[in-house]
């Protein structure tokens, strides 16, 4: 069957080549001045002009008709600078697009072949070459610098004493938010201390002890399993169990490494006070105070995710093994945003955080509602949540 398909494909290619060749030969035989008639050329010229007109008309119609679907005014203060950069670039592109295409279709129409008309042979002009090389180069350099200045302004804002620190951790496939609590300091975290109840591995004497005891329990179980498998493979000669034994041994050595790391952390006997008032919310809502600078720290527990806040014009990658940062100040609650959007003839429903990296099969699930609250409401919301100390049974 596959051979038949292959032969058919080859035969079709050969047939097309033969048809093209015969067409070429017949053209050579019949070729003369009027092979394409002047009236045909005229029709082509008109068709090009019509095509150009339809292209411009549909583009303008789309821009006018669908403009209301682009994002409303920025919900964060720095966002205006990003919007300005976007619009300057966009208007420039549109200007160049319209001018170049006007020339393209206009000239095809203006200079279609007419009776007795001869084409002008005009191979080179240094002045024109200079113009269309230097002007775009200057414009692009200016755009690059404008982009760099905007980046600088957005990424390194002035330090704000009234800011709050929030950590956002992505994992396949949800978000965990950690607020720094009353002291505004995020407690230390370490992956070795991660347990089912301490998903971020926040460090505290109590959480370290419970991580160590669950690590020891896992070691005990695996140790037993390895011994059983070992006797099956080495004493009873059950070769089929070799792979299982290898896996169990690898897991056992990983857990033993975790035990060593935890013991080292416990030995340091550090003061983990900062983590006590932290508030950890798994797959909940991102509550933000209005008019206050929020310093975000981003982390990932598995692959690269990207925390994307479209309404706030912010995005930052969450990379396993490192911390990334971004700072912004929300300026409208959802209700205020509805009013602002309506002023522009746009609709607004809700703020949300979405993952902007295709991070796996359920990537689409990585979204978290964002609610911007007035300071008082925000404080009340935080007071209603369990602190890390509550979670580990300290208070
Ligand atoms: Cu993701």
For residue 365, the CA-to-ligand 1 centroid distance in Å is 8
For the chain, the average pLDDT equals 90
Residue 11 lies inside a defined structural domain of this protein = no
Residue 5 lies inside a defined structural domain of this protein = no
Residue 244 lies inside a defined structural domain of this protein = yes
Portion of the chain with pLDDT greater than 70, in percent: 98
Mark out the alpha helices in the chain (DSSP H runs): 2-30, 38-66, 79-110, 126-155, 205-230, 242-268, 334-343, 375-383, 388-391
For residue 357, the CA-to-ligand 1 centroid distance in Å is 6
For residue 290, the CA-to-ligand 1 centroid distance in Å is 26
Same domain for 52 and 150, yes or no, is: yes
Q: Is the pTM of this model over 0.85?
A: no
351: Cβ–Cβ under 8 A, 6 or more apart, which residues?
Answer: 75, 309, 311, 312, 334, 337, 369, 370, 371, 372
The token duo for 80 is: 């205006």
378: Cβ–Cβ under 8 A, 6 or more apart, which residues?
Answer: 287, 288, 289, 290
Under a CB-based contact definition with an 8 Å cutoff, are residues 200 and 275 in contact? no
For residue 316, the CA-to-ligand 1 centroid distance in Å is 12
More confident: 138 or 207: 138
pLDDT digits (tens, 9 = 90+) for 72-97: 999 998 999 999 999 999 999 999 99
For residue 367, the CA-to-ligand 1 centroid distance in Å is 9
pLDDT digits (tens, 9 = 90+) for 314-347: 999 999 999 999 999 999 999 999 999 999 889 8
Which has the closest alpha carbon to 334: 358, 351, 314? 351
Residue 321 lies inside a defined structural domain of this protein = yes
For residue 155, the CA-to-ligand 1 centroid distance in Å is 22
For residue 306, the CA-to-ligand 1 centroid distance in Å is 6
- Distance CA(371)–CA(170), nearest Å, equals 19
- Distance CA(248)–CA(222), nearest Å, equals 7
For residue 177, the CA-to-ligand 1 centroid distance in Å is 14
Same domain for 164 and 43, yes or no, is: no
Same domain for 256 and 388, yes or no, is: no
For residue 169, the CA-to-ligand 1 centroid distance in Å is 10
Give the residues across from 27 on adjacent strands. Answer: none
Radius of gyration of the chain (CA): 33
For residue 346, the CA-to-ligand 1 centroid distance in Å is 28
Under a CB-based contact definition with an 8 Å cutoff, are residues 305 and 319 in contact? no
The yes-or-no verdict on residue 269 having pLDDT over 90 is no
Under a CB-based contact definition with an 8 Å cutoff, are residues 180 and 275 in contact? no
- Dmax (CA) for the chain in angstroms is 101
Under a CB-based contact definition with an 8 Å cutoff, are residues 296 and 327 in contact? yes
Same domain for 41 and 140, yes or no, is: yes
Same domain for 190 and 261, yes or no, is: no
Direct distance between the N- and C-terminal alpha carbons of the chain, in angstroms, rounded to an integer: 74
Under a CB-based contact definition with an 8 Å cutoff, are residues 387 and 395 in contact? yes
For residue 189, the CA-to-ligand 1 centroid distance in Å is 21
Same domain for 287 and 361, yes or no, is: yes
For residue 304, the CA-to-ligand 1 centroid distance in Å is 7
pLDDT digits (tens, 9 = 90+) for 185-228: 888 888 888 888 888 888 888 888 888 989 999 999 998 988 88
Q: What is the count of structural domains for the chain?
A: 3
Domain that holds residue 291: 160-201+277-395
- Distance CA(164)–CA(180), nearest Å, equals 8
Residue 304 lies inside a defined structural domain of this protein = yes
Instruction: Give the CA dihedral 354, 356, 358, 362, nearest 10 degrees.
Output: 0
For residue 352, the CA-to-ligand 1 centroid distance in Å is 14
Query: In the prediction, which pLDDT does 209 show?
Result: 86
Return the residue matching tokens 């310093």.
295
For residue 308, the CA-to-ligand 1 centroid distance in Å is 10
Residue 121 is classified by DSSP as: -
Residue 28 lies inside a defined structural domain of this protein = no
Same domain for 301 and 177, yes or no, is: yes
Same domain for 330 and 383, yes or no, is: yes
For residue 78, the CA-to-ligand 1 centroid distance in Å is 25
Query: In the prediction, which pLDDT does 31 show?
Result: 62
Point out the least confidently predicted range of 2-6, 146-150, 246-250, 389-393.
Answer: 389-393
Confidence of residue 32 (pLDDT cuts 50, 70, 90): low
Same domain for 219 and 363, yes or no, is: no
Confidence of residue 277 (pLDDT cuts 50, 70, 90): confident
More confident: 159 or 97: 97
Count other Cβ atoms within 10 Å, centred on residue 16: 10
Return the residue matching tokens 């180069």.
137
For residue 176, the CA-to-ligand 1 centroid distance in Å is 12
Question: Residue 137 burial (CB < 10 Å; 0-12/13-18/19+)?
Answer: exposed
What's phi and psi for 295, nearest 5 deg? -95, 110
Domain boundary among 242, 271, 300: 271
Same domain for 76 and 143, yes or no, is: yes
For residue 389, the CA-to-ligand 1 centroid distance in Å is 29
Same domain for 185 and 73, yes or no, is: no
What's phi and psi for 171, nearest 5 deg? -150, 160
Residue 27 lies inside a defined structural domain of this protein = no
Residue 328 lies inside a defined structural domain of this protein = yes
Same domain for 69 and 168, yes or no, is: no
Cis peptide before 124 (omega within 30 of 0): no
For residue 21, the CA-to-ligand 1 centroid distance in Å is 54
For residue 363, the CA-to-ligand 1 centroid distance in Å is 5
């Amino acid at each position: 069957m596959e051979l038949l398909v292959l032969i058919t494909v080859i035969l079709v290619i050969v047939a097309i080549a033969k048809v093209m060749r015969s067409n070429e030969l017949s053209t050579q035989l019949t070729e003369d001045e009027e092979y394409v008639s002047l009236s045909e050329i005229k029709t082509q010229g008109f068709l090009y002009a019509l095509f150009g007109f339809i292209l411009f008309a549909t583009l303008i119609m789309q821009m006018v008709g669908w403009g209301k679907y682009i994002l409303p005014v920025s919900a964060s203060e720095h966002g205006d600078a990003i919007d300005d950069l976007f619009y300057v670039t966009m208007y420039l592109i549109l200007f160049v697009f319209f001018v170049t295409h006007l020339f393209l279709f206009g000239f095809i129409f203006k200079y279609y072949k007419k009776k007795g008309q001869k084409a002008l042979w005009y191979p080179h002009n240094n002045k024109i070459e200079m113009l269309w090389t230097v002007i775009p180069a200057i414009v692009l350099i200016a755009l690059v610098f404008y982009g760099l200045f905007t980046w600088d302004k957005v990424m390194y804002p002035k330090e704000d004493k009234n800011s709050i620190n929030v950590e956002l951790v992505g994992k396949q496939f949800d978000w965990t938010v950690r607020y720094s609590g009353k002291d505004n300091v995020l407690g230390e975290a370490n992956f070795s201390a991660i347990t089912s109840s301490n998903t971020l591995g926040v460090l505290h004497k109590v959480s370290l002890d419970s991580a160590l005891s669950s690590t020891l329990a896992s070691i005990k179980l695996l140790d037993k399993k390895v011994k059983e498998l070992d006797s099956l493979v080495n004493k009873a000669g059950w070769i089929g169990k070799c792979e299982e034994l290898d896996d169990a041994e690898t897991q056992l050595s990983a857990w033993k490494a975790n035990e060593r790391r935890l013991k080292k952390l416990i030995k340091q006997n550090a003061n983990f006070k900062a983590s006590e008032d932290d508030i950890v919310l798994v797959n909940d809502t991102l509550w933000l105070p209005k008019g206050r600078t929020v310093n975000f720290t981003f982390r990932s527990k598995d692959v690269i995710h990207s925390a994307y806040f479209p309404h706030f014009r912010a995005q930052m990658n969450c990379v396993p093994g490192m911390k990334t940062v971004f700072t912004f100040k929300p300026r409208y609650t959802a209700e205020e945003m509805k009013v602002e959007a309506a002023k522009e003839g746009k609709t607004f429903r809700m703020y949300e955080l979405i993952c902007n990296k295709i991070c796996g099969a359920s990537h689409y699930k990585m979204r978290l509602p964002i609610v911007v609250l007035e300071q008082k409401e925000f404080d009340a919301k935080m007071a209603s949540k369990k602190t890390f100390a509550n979670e580990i049974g300290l208070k």
